[in-house]
A and B are shown apart, each in its own frame.
Chain A
Amino acid sequence: MKERIVGVIPVLLVLWFLLSLFKPQTDASKASMVKRFWILKTHSEKKYSLVLCGDSRTYRGMSPEEMQNVLPDFSIYNFAYSSGSFSAFMLDQIEKRLDFDAPVKVLYLGITPYSLTPKAAKDGHIRQEMARKKEEVWEALYLDPVKQFFEPYQFDWDKPGDSVLYIQNYKATGWVATTKIPPDPGEAIPIYMRDFQDNTVSNTMIDSLVSRVERWTEKRVIVFAGRPPTTNAMINLENTISGFDESGFVRKFEQAGGIWLQTDVNDYQSFDGSHLDIPSAIKFSTDIASMIKAELIRRTH
């Protein structure tokens, strides 16, 4: 009988290992992974020579991995947040992630009209993540992966009516590769109509941003910016109700030393009328990286 009791232990350990290895991702492990993603983005002290900043169009639309293929000499990180802004507070956080000791330092700012509004300037998402207690951060980073090993299997039953597939892959580089099947190009329009009610672009914020770009440029940081591609309908909406004057902004930005990167929205596809789907995000990342590379080569010559 002793052999039976002792025999159970190794067999049990093997079974545990196998069952955990082949376990599909559960909602709990997804939630835990998402939590860890944002905690790492916020609490990590690692610095990068190329930092991507902005809101959800940037964190869903720009892949550091793809950019790395074009710019292998850079360490690249996507530091964008939900409803991320370019408030003074956010610009301070961006500076903390940039490696000022790197030989070439680059920032890319994904400028959307919403990111320049007072509502966005509350920076609710990053502040929420920064407010997490140390114990919670520690638990999410070190304890949750162990707990996930023992998470139970989850049964997902395909039922008639389950027709929408929403995919979100959280990458260690800060990119959230997202798509929705089938896509719904009109989904985001009413949301943005609501977001811009009594909440238009702030000229104060633009001036503050431009002033910071000047300071960065003086510190030999190369600051790129662009308007992340979306749908024509969304651009028309934003141009109409957000109070954003793109040409005026570009003029100020370039006067401060920044480099504006223009792309054609018709080259890309959105899954919800605001954000790029995965193939488009890869293409956009590659395109931006190529433009950055071209500019850097031009500067060295």
Chain B
Amino acid sequence: MLFNSISFFVFAAAFFLLFPLVKHRSDNLRWAFLVTASLIFYGWWKWEYVLIILVTALIDFSAALAMFRFPTARKWLLITSLSANLLVLFSFKYFAFFLHSVNHLLSWSAVSQTFPTDPPIYFAILPVGISFYTFQSMSYTIDVYQGKLRPTGNPLHFLSAICLFPHLVAGPIVRGRHILSQLAHTRKASELERWDGLKLVSIGFFRKVVLADNIAPFVNNAFTNDLSVNNSIYWWLVMIAFAFQIYFDFTGYSDIARGLAKWMGIHFHINFNHPYYARSLQDFWSRWHISLSTWFRDYVYISLGGSRCKPLRNHVNLWITMLLSGLWHGSSLTFIAWGALHALYLSIERVTKLPTIISNIPGGRLISIFIVFFLVVIAWVFFRSATLRESFIVLFHMFSFNSSVELGSLPWPDFAFTGLLFLAIGVILEASHFLRIDITKLLHPRVAFYAEVGQYSAILAMCVFFRGTSEQFIYFQF
């Protein structure tokens, strides 16, 4: 079920009413409750999804336990666990793309054989969140293999960590060593945590249903109906709008997940740290989807040798990591191109050390922020486009600066103006963080109390009355 749905509100109300009644009884009861509730949440889409997550989770649980008990077989057990996870991911997510690519390659050769690209019926629908929970589960077995984590002997404990509903379908990707210890003990959320949780959920919904969902129709319409519109300003507006749409959508979800977890007394790490303030692409990747970028850093980049090898090998490791990161997002050449472009940016940055040079000039901080944003927006073209051809069409429009269509003569639908209005609001709110404006800190504590209550009440009211058309979270498709 979606966070922004009536069924979720009913589910969450029932969960938080019942959870205090069970959490102090026994560890097994608490974990069983968390697992049951989370599987109900997940199975609401399709009950068959529950089988997939249970099978992969139990394979990893068993493999990790076996690794601990039979250390000599650790390597083969790890290979088995990773293979099972990657096989499931490949079957549901990459099978059709793989066959399509093979057919394409065969078409260049003399071989006349082609393979059918329609996946078998059971693999036709991508289970929601499969990329997230398989990575979560794989990090657990890898950490056990590397001796960083002692495996849990209780399947309910393990399942509650993997299936916990706030982070199940769109992250953050929580490491086993981080969450298992929190779930091992009963912990009552403090009043401050509850208030912070409510604030996070409010802000998360505001970012998602008010900002992202109001911007979305403008962007979607451009890509559906306006690809032939040759106007640079229009397409820069569209891509800047998309940059903020995907940011508000994803960070909104992460905030809601963190807020809900806080109410359970569980702490998730921050997943986004104002990425459009990054002063270099490296800085950007330390701020954007932090849980995924650190996963790739720790389990791919560092495992390949990271930066502890010769420069050329270092760049190769970087490219492999970024290409896999692109591929993780979807089985399409556009995502691979997106990953490749970021790899190119990072390679150039490392070689030229441009961010350091720019930061030393007057106004360098602001200049570097704009440059990074500019480069990231260009990369988003590939991320948003359905095909490479579409990407190049959009890029051509963006850089043609020779508009054949006047901006004023475009048939602007109402939702375009609404989208631009909420884009402006979102940009102003982000800027307020940049400028470190927090009005409540300027007020007397008693007044600040009323101001904060009013502020978050207004945010929640706006989530109802200024919400956009209900859009699925973008990252659900991954």
Q: Is the interface of B mostly helix, strand, loop or mixed?
A: helix
Residues of B within 8 A of A156 (CB): 414
Q: Is B453 an interface residue (CB 8 A)?
A: yes
> In this complex, what residue of A is CB-closest to B193?
A1
Size of interface on B: residues with Cβ below 8 Å to A: 26
Please pick, from A2, A8, A20, A23, the residue contacting B460 in the complex, using a CB distance under 8 A: A8
Identify which of residues 435-478 in chain B touch chain A, using a CB-to-CB cut-off of 8 Å: 449-450, 452-454, 456-458, 460-461, 464-468
- Shortest CB–CB separation between residue B30 and chain A, in angstroms? 23
Decide: A159 and B191 in contact? CB cutoff 8 A: no
- Shortest CB–CB separation between residue A143 and chain B, in angstroms? 12
Question: What is the bound-complex CA distance between A68 and B417, given in angstroms?
Answer: 45
Q: Is B421 an interface residue (CB 8 A)?
A: yes
- Shortest CB–CB separation between residue B49 and chain A, in angstroms? 29
Decide: B417 and A157 in contact? CB cutoff 8 A: yes
Q: A23-B465, A152-B464, A159-B412 are in contact. Are A8 and B457 (CB under 8 A)?
A: yes
Decide: B465 and A19 in contact? CB cutoff 8 A: yes
- Shortest CB–CB separation between residue B20 and chain A, in angstroms? 15
Residues of B within 8 A of A16 (CB): 461, 464-465
Q: Is B91 an interface residue (CB 8 A)?
A: no
Residues of A within 8 A of B468 (CB): 152
Q: Is B194 an interface residue (CB 8 A)?
A: yes
Question: What is the bound-complex CA distance between A23 and B466, given in angstroms?
Answer: 11
Size of interface on A: residues with Cβ below 8 Å to B: 21
Residues of A within 8 A of B466 (CB): 152-153
Decide: B418 and A155 in contact? CB cutoff 8 A: yes
Q: Is A233 an interface residue (CB 8 A)?
A: no
Q: Is B198 an interface residue (CB 8 A)?
A: yes
Q: Is A4 an interface residue (CB 8 A)?
A: yes
Encode A150-162 as 1/0 by CB contact (under 8 A) with B.
1011011101000
Q: Is B195 an interface residue (CB 8 A)?
A: yes
Decide: B453 and A11 in contact? CB cutoff 8 A: yes
Decide: A15 and B467 in contact? CB cutoff 8 A: no
Q: Is the interface of A mostly helix, strand, loop or mixed?
A: helix
Q: Is B192 an interface residue (CB 8 A)?
A: yes
Decide: A153 and B195 in contact? CB cutoff 8 A: no
Task: Identify which of B192, B195, B450, B468 gathers the most chain A CB atoms within 10 Å of its CB.
Answer: B195
Identify which of residues 395-427 in chain B touch chain A, using a CB-to-CB cut-off of 8 Å: 412, 414, 417-418, 421
Identify which of residues 1-16 in chain A touch chain B, using a CB-to-CB cut-off of 8 Å: 1-5, 7-8, 11-12, 15-16
Q: A152-B465, A152-B466, A155-B421 are in contact. Are A12 and B195 (CB under 8 A)?
A: no
> In this complex, what residue of B is CB-closest to A8?
B457
Decide: B194 and A5 in contact? CB cutoff 8 A: yes
Residues of A within 8 A of B449 (CB): 3-4, 7
Identify which of residues 206-249 in chain A touch chain B, using a CB-to-CB cut-off of 8 Å: none
Please pick, from A4, A15, A19, the residue contacting B195 in the complex, using a CB distance under 8 A: A4
Decide: A19 and B194 in contact? CB cutoff 8 A: no
Decide: B414 and A155 in contact? CB cutoff 8 A: yes
Encode B126-163 as 1/0 by CB contact (under 8 A) with A.
00000000000000000000000000000000000000
Please pick, from A8, A11, A19, A20, the residue contacting B198 in the complex, using a CB distance under 8 A: A8
Question: What is the bound-complex CA distance between A11 and B451, given in angstroms?
Answer: 11
> In this complex, what residue of A is CB-closest to B196?
A1
Decide: A155 and B417 in contact? CB cutoff 8 A: yes
Please pick, from B194, B412, B461, the residue contacting A15 in the complex, using a CB distance under 8 A: B461
Decide: A20 and B453 in contact? CB cutoff 8 A: no
- Shortest CB–CB separation between residue B28 and chain A, in angstroms? 31
- Shortest CB–CB separation between residue A266 and chain B, in angstroms? 41
- Shortest CB–CB separation between residue B419 and chain A, in angstroms? 10
Question: What is the bound-complex CA distance between A298 and B77, given in angstroms?
Answer: 103
Residues of B within 8 A of A20 (CB): 465
Decide: B457 and A12 in contact? CB cutoff 8 A: yes
Question: What is the bound-complex CA distance between A159 and B464, given in angstroms?
Answer: 27
Decide: B453 and A19 in contact? CB cutoff 8 A: no
> In this complex, what residue of A is CB-closest to B461?
A15
Encode A134-166 as 1/0 by CB contact (under 8 A) with B.
000000000000000010110111010000000
Question: What is the bound-complex CA distance between A289 and B418, given in angstroms?
Answer: 48
Please pick, from B192, B414, B421, B456, the residue contacting A8 in the complex, using a CB distance under 8 A: B456
Question: What is the bound-complex CA distance between A2 and B197, given in angstroms?
Answer: 12
- Shortest CB–CB separation between residue B462 and chain A, in angstroms? 8
Please pick, from B191, B192, B456, B461, the residue contacting A19 in the complex, using a CB distance under 8 A: B461
Encode B166-198 as 1/0 by CB contact (under 8 A) with A.
000000000000000000000000111011001
Decide: A12 and B414 in contact? CB cutoff 8 A: no
Question: What is the bound-complex CA distance between A86 and B190, given in angstroms?
Answer: 72
- Shortest CB–CB separation between residue A16 and chain B, in angstroms? 6
Residues of B within 8 A of A8 (CB): 198, 453, 456-457, 460
> In this complex, what residue of A is CB-closest to B458?
A15
- Shortest CB–CB separation between residue B163 and chain A, in angstroms? 28
- Shortest CB–CB separation between residue A126 and chain B, in angstroms? 33
Question: What is the bound-complex CA distance between A251 and B407, given in angstroms?
Answer: 64
Question: What is the bound-complex CA distance between A189 and B72, given in angstroms?
Answer: 90
Question: What is the bound-complex CA distance between A262 and B456, given in angstroms?
Answer: 64
Residues of B within 8 A of A15 (CB): 457-458, 461
Residues of B within 8 A of A157 (CB): 414, 417-418
Please pick, from B194, B417, B464, the residue contacting A1 in the complex, using a CB distance under 8 A: B194
Decide: A7 and B453 in contact? CB cutoff 8 A: yes
> In this complex, what residue of B is CB-closest to A152?
B467
Question: What is the bound-complex CA distance between A156 and B415, given in angstroms?
Answer: 9
Residues of B within 8 A of A1 (CB): 190-192, 194-195
> In this complex, what residue of B is CB-closest to A12?
B457
> In this complex, what residue of B is CB-closest to A9?
B457
> In this complex, what residue of A is CB-closest to B422?
A155
Question: What is the bound-complex CA distance between A15 and B421, given in angstroms?
Answer: 22
Residues of B within 8 A of A19 (CB): 461, 464-465
Decide: A11 and B454 in contact? CB cutoff 8 A: yes
Question: What is the bound-complex CA distance between A118 and B371, given in angstroms?
Answer: 70
Decide: B191 and A2 in contact? CB cutoff 8 A: yes
Question: What is the bound-complex CA distance between A169 and B467, given in angstroms?
Answer: 27
> In this complex, what residue of B is CB-closest to A10?
B457
- Shortest CB–CB separation between residue B359 and chain A, in angstroms? 40
Question: What is the bound-complex CA distance between A8 and B449, given in angstroms?
Answer: 11
Which of A's residues lie within 8 Å of B, judged by CB?
1-5, 7-8, 11-12, 15-16, 19-20, 23, 150, 152-153, 155-157, 159
Instruction: For the complex of A and B, list the 8 residue pairs with the smallest distance between their C-beta atoms, beginning with the closest.
Output: A1-B191, A11-B457, A15-B461, A1-B195, A7-B453, A12-B457, A157-B417, A155-B418
A2-B191, A4-B195, A19-B465 given; name 20 further pairs at CB < 8 Å.
A1-B190, A4-B449, A4-B452, A4-B456, A5-B194, A5-B195, A8-B453, A8-B460, A11-B453, A11-B454, A11-B457, A15-B458, A15-B461, A16-B461, A16-B464, A150-B465, A152-B464, A152-B468, A155-B414, A156-B414
A/B interface sample: 10 pairs, CB < 8 A? A12-B457, A15-B457, A15-B461, A16-B465, A150-B465, A153-B465, A155-B414, A157-B414, A157-B418, A159-B412
